[in-house]
Amino acid sequence: KEKLLVFAGPCVVENREMLFSTAEGLKKAAETIGFDLIFKASYKKANRSSSGSFTGIGDEAALALLAEVRQTFDLPIVTDIHHPEEAALASKFVDVLQIPAFLCRQTELLEAAGKTGLAVNIKKGQFMAPGDMRLAAEKVAATGNTKILLTERGTSFGYHNLVVDFRGLPQMSALGYPVIFDATHSVQLPSAGQGISSGERQYIQPLARAAVAVGVTGLFFEVHPTPEKALSDSATQLPLSKAEPLLRELQEIFEITKKIQPLI
Amino acid sequence: KEKLLVFAGPCVVENREMLFSTAEGLKKAAETIGFDLIFKASYKKANRSSSGSFTGIGDEAALALLAEVRQTFDLPIVTDIHHPEEAALASKFVDVLQIPAFLCRQTELLEAAGKTGLAVNIKKGQFMAPGDMRLAAEKVAATGNTKILLTERGTSFGYHNLVVDFRGLPQMSALGYPVIFDATHSVQLPSAGQGISSGERQYIQPLARAAVAVGVTGLFFEVHPTPEKALSDSATQLPLSKAEPLLRELQEIFEITKKIQPLI
Amino acid sequence: KEKLLVFAGPCVVENREMLFSTAEGLKKAAETIGFDLIFKASYKKANRSSSGSFTGIGDEAALALLAEVRQTFDLPIVTDIHHPEEAALASKFVDVLQIPAFLCRQTELLEAAGKTGLAVNIKKGQFMAPGDMRLAAEKVAATGNTKILLTERGTSFGYHNLVVDFRGLPQMSALGYPVIFDATHSVQLPSAGQGISSGERQYIQPLARAAVAVGVTGLFFEVHPTPEKALSDSATQLPLSKAEPLLRELQEIFEITKKIQPLI
Amino acid sequence: KEKLLVFAGPCVVENREMLFSTAEGLKKAAETIGFDLIFKASYKKANRSSSGSFTGIGDEAALALLAEVRQTFDLPIVTDIHHPEEAALASKFVDVLQIPAFLCRQTELLEAAGKTGLAVNIKKGQFMAPGDMRLAAEKVAATGNTKILLTERGTSFGYHNLVVDFRGLPQMSALGYPVIFDATHSVQLPSAGQGISSGERQYIQPLARAAVAVGVTGLFFEVHPTPEKALSDSATQLPLSKAEPLLRELQEIFEITKKIQPLI
């Protein structure tokens, strides 16, 4: 059977306990349901709305915990980088480097990620048309590294709101790279709260279902054991307890709706 | 089994032959696949981009042909009205009245449609938030007629472009009315051509799949035997030959993905 | 000196007293400051957000009051129409017919307005690119009536918000018709309130100043003696007491900044 | 008299000759017309659409040329930085550090800029509401440096297009910092060309006039002796020959329209 590729894990490494309990829960879901899991966590948050926000427990400490998760649970790891200098360090601990959406035009960052030889997941900027991700991908591919994935996470729609344009999924797929749908950042309401991004958790499920029906290689979720206590993105992280039933449903839709065969 | 509700038919009544061949083809598809069909055609086009565009063969002539389709193929009919005065006339020939998206704020039109006692399908204005369709529905409901459907057909996204916000489907559903997804108008590019609306026919299929996976009562398609010769909306009408395979796929997804059971 | 053309008056005819006091105040301001005034009021409101909203005192009664204002104050009158049938009636009482923004694509309405021979002010739809107003204007011009004005009143920008794209003023001007900037509807927040349009009155002044500096033939304001008591658009009508100082400032900017002489 | 603050100069340091001829021309215009000039040029371009684009002549070489302009023409210099590490280097050569719009949420970059003690000009992200620039400014202010300017350069409006929301100027001004209007980037059409940003140079003048009438502290222009030969942003840079007449007009409007005195 074909397996959904799932990037999932907490927004940021908060501490050892929450990191490991999330990894354990997701690993179990992956084995039970049969999807491919890549464990996700940021080792620092560099673009929080407000300077008072939590940004991490220290880069090396967080990366070391991620490496421990990798070994303990035999899981590949993805994390995001923000400056070219971070690529070399992070690449020692993880399997996939992720380029944040705001930074998808930063040439040096894309090149540094490409040069590590790791797979590079580029998030589409909220300000960018899907087809223009060709240019971002080419900056990585120019380093000789074509292990590239493209992720949709919503597009600016007025102020304090994002819309997912599902035409963008086939448009990015046509660029020749696997396409991932980020179901938790896509439901954010940027800066709609007091200095923090708010969000609409109830739309994670319908938008993820839509993405699978349209056709994607995989999905991306931020997952937290207790989102209401999360130190970042608490409005939109998926409760760990919901990950298993939601991914069961999505893996089923993935198998039965099959890849789209263009009719028109 | 649960049946998808499908509004389908040509954009406008062009002549007897194309009307009947479309109705015959769609009726056959409905019987083979097992969906509920409501045959759609406008008897006049009142809001074409340009005044040189075809607007119809005459109101009474077109309505008479629709009534003949109704009887010949035993199909309910939906058509759209543009002025309050049209409600009484059209209601003699059809089963469902449709309010065009640009006119979804016109109180007298909504009231006139409501007063006929027929079901009223209100298209969401391209300028309107999904939740605000509550106000449009209330204008009909105030006449004592609560046979109301709400249709998504895309939202203004910059100039000459529409985006479908799939959060809008559950938002409109929460208003208590069945929700229809109009898959052919949603792929229009308004006025992007020389005085006509252009469109991207290749996105009818992915967007319709997405809508079914998110959860809708039904779908709306403009269907034409030869869209390239159509007198209106030729860029976005679905070729009649594609209706059967597309609707087969969509009815299947409808049955197997089932109605969404909110998890989050 | 060159005079600003100003369409101003209450959103809707509420009663004789408020209509006459507004007309008197505006007439006095026009004489003192030296701008050309066309008195504005709707005789009915056909597209209120909610069906519970005030829609008018009766068409003929309201038109008769407008005609009385015309005679008493020697002022030309503009009012808006919503159905083709209204053109003939309204044209007996007023000097300029106005096409509401939502209705700027309705061919029959534009043609009916054109056929009266009166000047026709077409508001740009919130869903329409400025250059596409060419098609709306051509529908009127096809009747042989080229006394056409085009009015900017904001463009859909996400939900519950409008943005004024000031590139649109020269774009519409390039179509060959005088361009008016509607400073009070442009600051509306559509349906952002409970079933009513809210707004940001504080931006009337900066946006009107911007429009004059960019270059327009005139401005449009809804003006009410006591906006907080207005039966419609109370969030955005300009208090009558502010009309004189605001228009003094705008007429001055109009004279001193002069028409734009394209440098680039 | 009150003087407009003008940031102007070429997009990027291409070579000594073009840099000096631009500086000489602008300096002469500033003396003749009487505006305050801060000379602008990037020493590298880090976020070009495409990896084939010109990115600079080398950081130190470019910064040395900027320092030479500063001394030769007695002009303050502004340049933009992209990584925290660049702040210390650039601050040795220039007077104002600029944060690119895509990077206005990068906490470490803002903090590094703040810590230099130089004035920091933060461009509003195309994805950001004007009022949310409070959070960006606070990240700089948290370093104890409150010499902050905020610059409007357009907001995402659909794909491949930007709109200037002039309500944003008073909204940012209300945050307590001087507001600059970037008239040349605001007319860009992002990535609308083949891997490059296109633009509409003809709207520089009307939008700059509008900004001055609304009320700004200053304006920002990219200026090039021969934009058609420019190595970046060739569609939108202002020809040096037009800088003098345009700035003469804008300084005049600045003086005569005066700062806005809120009436409403």
When pLDDT is cut at 50, 70 and 90, the band that residue D104 belongs to is very high
Q: Are D159 and B159 an interchain contact pair (Cβ–Cβ within 8 Å)?
A: no
Q: Are C211 and D210 an interchain contact pair (Cβ–Cβ within 8 Å)?
A: yes
For A249, residues 6+ apart whose C-beta sits below 8 A from its C-beta are A205, A209, B263
pLDDT in the model for residue A162: 98
pLDDT in the model for residue A194: 63
Q: Kindly state whether A262 is in contact with chain C, defined as any CB-CB distance less than 8 angstroms.
A: no
Which of B50, B108, B126 is best to mutate for the C interface (most C CBs within 10 A)?
B50
Of residues A196 and C130, the one with the higher pLDDT is C130
Q: Give me the mean pLDDT over the A2-28 stretch.
A: 97
For B133, residues 6+ apart whose C-beta sits below 8 A from its C-beta are B104, B122, B124, B150, B172, B175
pLDDT in the model for residue D1: 82
Q: Is B150 exposed, middle or buried (0-12, 13-18, 19+ CB in 10 A)?
A: buried
Which of D126, D159, D162, D164 is best to mutate for the B interface (most B CBs within 10 A)?
D159
Range of weakest confidence among A191-205, A240-254, B9-23? A191-205
* Per-residue pLDDT at A248 exceeds 80: yes
Beta bridge partners of D36: D5
Q: Give me the mean pLDDT over the D233-249 stretch.
A: 96
Per-window interface: D 111-130 vs A, CB < 8 A = 111, 125-129
pLDDT in the model for residue C49: 67
* A32 C-beta neighbours (distance < 10 Å), count: 11
Q: How close does chain A come to B51, measured CA to CA in Å?
A: 30
Per-residue pLDDT tens over the stretch D187-203? 999 986 666 779 999 99
Residues on chain C touching A157 (C-beta within 8 angstroms): 158-159
> What value, to the nearest 5°, has the Cα angle with vertex B19 and ends B18 and B21?
65
Q: Which amino acid, residue B40?
A: K
Torsion sign across C-alpha atoms A87, A91, A92, A93:
positive
Name the closest residue on chain C to residue B102, using Cα atoms: C102
Percentage with pLDDT > 90 across chain D:
89
pLDDT in the model for residue A180: 98
Chains with 3 or more CB pairs under 8 A to chain D: A, B, C
Q: Give me the mean pLDDT over the A228-235 stretch.
A: 92
When pLDDT is cut at 50, 70 and 90, the band that residue D49 belongs to is low
Q: Which amino acid, residue A260?
A: I
Q: Are B263 and A253 an interchain contact pair (Cβ–Cβ within 8 Å)?
A: no
pLDDT in the model for residue C125: 98
Residues on chain D touching C264 (C-beta within 8 angstroms): 201-202, 204-205, 238-239, 242, 246
pLDDT along chain B (264 residues), means of 10: 95 96 98 98 81 83 97 98 95 97 96 98 98 96 98 98 98 98 97 77 98 97 96 94 98 89 90
**Torsions phi, psi of A189, nearest 5?**
-115, 95
Q: Are A157 and C161 an interchain contact pair (Cβ–Cβ within 8 Å)?
A: no
* D2 C-beta neighbours (distance < 10 Å), count: 13
* D72 C-beta neighbours (distance < 10 Å), count: 12
- Spans in chain C with pLDDT lower than 50: none
* Per-residue pLDDT at A29 exceeds 80: yes
Q: Are C106 and B195 an interchain contact pair (Cβ–Cβ within 8 Å)?
A: no
pLDDT in the model for residue C54: 81
Please say whether the beta carbons of B150 and B175 come within 8 A: yes
Beta bridge partners of C34: none
Q: Are B163 and A169 an interchain contact pair (Cβ–Cβ within 8 Å)?
A: no
Of residues D233 and B151, the one with the higher pLDDT is B151
A250-254 contacts at long range (C-beta below 8 A, 24 or more positions apart): A250/A4, A250/A208, A250/A209, A250/A212, A250/A219, A251/A3, A251/A4, A251/A33, A251/A34, A251/A35, A253/A209, A253/A212, A253/A213, A253/B213, A253/B256, A253/B257, A254/A2, A254/A4, A254/A212
For C174, residues 6+ apart whose C-beta sits below 8 A from its C-beta are none
d(CA C225, CA C233): 13
ipTM, interface predicted TM-score of the complex: 0.96
> What value, to the nearest 5°, has the Cα angle with vertex A89 and ends A42 and D106?
50
Beta bridge partners of B120: B97, B148
Q: What is the DSSP string of B68-122?
A: HHHHHHT--EEEE--SHHHHHHHHTT-SEEEE-GGGTT-HHHHHHHHHT-SEEEE
d(CA A222, CA A184): 6
d(CA A21, CA A38): 15
Q: Give me the mean pLDDT over the D56-79 stretch.
A: 96
Six token digits for residue B235: 């860029």
In chain C the first and final C-alpha atoms are separated, in Å, by: 27
Q: How many CB pairs under 8 A join B and D?
A: 11
d(CA C201, CA C220): 14
Q: Are D161 and B158 an interchain contact pair (Cβ–Cβ within 8 Å)?
A: yes
The H-assigned helical ranges of chain B are 16-29, 59-73, 84-91, 107-115, 133-141, 168-173, 204-214, 240-257
* DSSP letter assigned to residue C162: E
What value does the mean pLDDT of chain D take?
95
Torsion sign across C-alpha atoms A28, A33, A38, A42:
negative
